[in-house]
Amino acid sequence: MARLKESSLAAPNGAPGVRRSGVWSREVGWFVAIGVASTAGQALLYWVLRQWWPPVAANLVSLLVLTVLNTEANRRLTFRHAAAGPVRAHLGAGGLFLLGYVATSGAVLWFTHAEPGASPAAETAVLTATSVAVTVVRFVVLRLAVFRTPARTQR
């Protein structure tokens, strides 16, 4: 929490004590826009793949493809002023991918167990809702750990 406060305090000219809410607003705005596009893309790809593949395989492929695209978009747009390069960004996102995969697959598997006759569209809705929850965690971890640099906290 101290890092969160440190990173949000400072004026553009480096004077301490003035909130830099503009940076957070821009970051959150880009993250939400990219997240909406990524979640829609993952849901669509999952729904298409689910026509032929089991839920876990469809989720793995759709999540993997969209996580790579999402991470790169966030690196270039959301966190563009951070010094994290592509390798650091994608390695950091790899751990978050595992968290997202376990959470979304678990939710879909639980749902298919509870509702054996559910349609792929219903599964996709469960997947999407779980992805939104995972996205909140993803933003916090990316912002505070993956894209955190000494330069960012000293501005």
As given in the structure block, the two tokens for residue 126 are 């469960």
Give the confidence band of 122 by pLDDT, cuts at 50, 70, 90: very high
Mean pLDDT for the stretch of residues 18-35? 78
The answer on pLDDT for 4 being more than 80 is no
As given in the structure block, the two tokens for residue 43 are 């849901």
Distance CA 114, CA 118 (A): 9
Question: In 9-143, where does DSSP find H-type helix?
Answer: 21-50, 55-73, 86-114, 120-141
Distance CA 53, CA 33 (A): 29
* pLDDT at residue 18 in the model: 40
Give the confidence band of 150 by pLDDT, cuts at 50, 70, 90: low
Average pLDDT in the chain? 81
Mean pLDDT for the stretch of residues 53-81? 91
pTM score: 0.73
Q: Which percentage of the chain shows pLDDT scores above 90?
A: 46
